[in-house]
Amino acid sequence: MKTSYESINALSATNGEVLEIHHRNSSEVSIIFKPNIKILITKDVYLRHYFYVGKVFSRKEIEEIKKELRLQDLYKYGLMLLKRGAYSSFEIHERLLAKSGNNYNDADAALKLLIENNLINDRLFAENFLDSKANSPSYGNERIKDELLNFKHLDSGIVESLVFPSENERAEALMKRFLRQNNDSYQEKKRKLWELLNKYGYEKGTIASLIESLNFDDEEENENRKKALEKALRLYASRYEEKELKRRCYNYLLQKGYNLEGFETLYRGFKNDEKN
């Protein structure tokens, strides 16, 4: 048997008379009210209301007991959540609200009790969250701040007081991974890299500094331009006549950000190779 909102609300049907009392353990007591309504209460609630067999509680006392039992139930639920993982006070409050059927008074009271017992600490939560993300290339400092403020709903004062480590190493790791997988032109690489680093919440100064530090290989760029032209020819050769085909290939390389100086020579070279 366990206390639940359903059993707590069932107390409304009792006349308040206590039929049986069973001490389950050192912290919990089972109470049976007339007509056979069973609830489980803490020893604190039991002692505070001075239960004994035959006692008849008034309607006002029953409502007070119900209030305390709801708090007891929500508090236990909060404890269960915190044993499973880390939560901010906002996240716990949202779950307590859902559990209580959007009873703000009950949820507020349970949250307050959890905080008073040092089971929820938003400052410690923020520090641990920062530590858990500070080595992940997928998290720039701005993304960490955004999640703490807009998803975990922490107080801005707590977030601003955090000491954020340098994000340069994380950004460099993400950049190296990106460059290994990308064969676009210099300009296209820079554009996509900016978008990627910005998406993962890196500071603008960090992004600008990294991109400025890039040294591209001209020979590699020319080779990638040839591959891009080959791809364009495969895409369009069977669909367009010569004049339109050439224009399409030119625009394809332009959109990819390649330097088009010498395009005529490069294009003629491919066409001559086809003839041969």
CATH assignment at residue 104: 1.10.10.10
Return d(Cα 250, Cα 206) in angstroms, integer: 34
pLDDT at 1: 44
Return d(Cα 3, Cα 13) in angstroms, integer: 16
Token digits of residue 173: 């790791």
CB 148 within 8 Å of CB 109: no
- Regions of the chain short of the pLDDT cut 50: 1-2
Residues 132 and 107 in one domain: no
Burial group, residue 6, by CB count within 10 angstroms (0-12, 13-18, 19+): exposed
Structural domain count, the chain: 3
**Where among 116, 150, 180 does a domain terminate?**
116
pLDDT at 223: 82
Residues 235 and 210 in one domain: no
Residues 66 and 168 in one domain: no
Residues 31 and 133 in one domain: no
pLDDT at 5: 59
> By C-alpha distance, which of 174, 85, 77 is closest to 128?
85
**Where among 59, 94, 116 does a domain terminate?**
116
> By C-alpha distance, which of 38, 47, 106 is closest to 75?
106
Return d(Cα 234, Cα 119) in angstroms, integer: 63
pLDDT at 84: 96
pLDDT at 226: 85
Output the DSSP codes for 140-179: -HHHHHHHHHHTS---HHHHHTS-PPP-HHHHHHHHHHHH
**Where among 168, 188, 216 does a domain terminate?**
216
Residues 129 and 178 in one domain: yes
Residues 9 and 100 in one domain: yes
Residues 29 and 70 in one domain: yes
Task: Look up the domain containing 150 and give its range.
Answer: 121-216
Amino acid at 85: G
Residues 139 and 51 in one domain: no
Residues 140 and 73 in one domain: no
Q: Between vectors from CA 117 to CA 111 and to CA 122, what angle results, nearest 5°?
A: 60
Residues 194 and 230 in one domain: no
Residues 195 and 235 in one domain: no
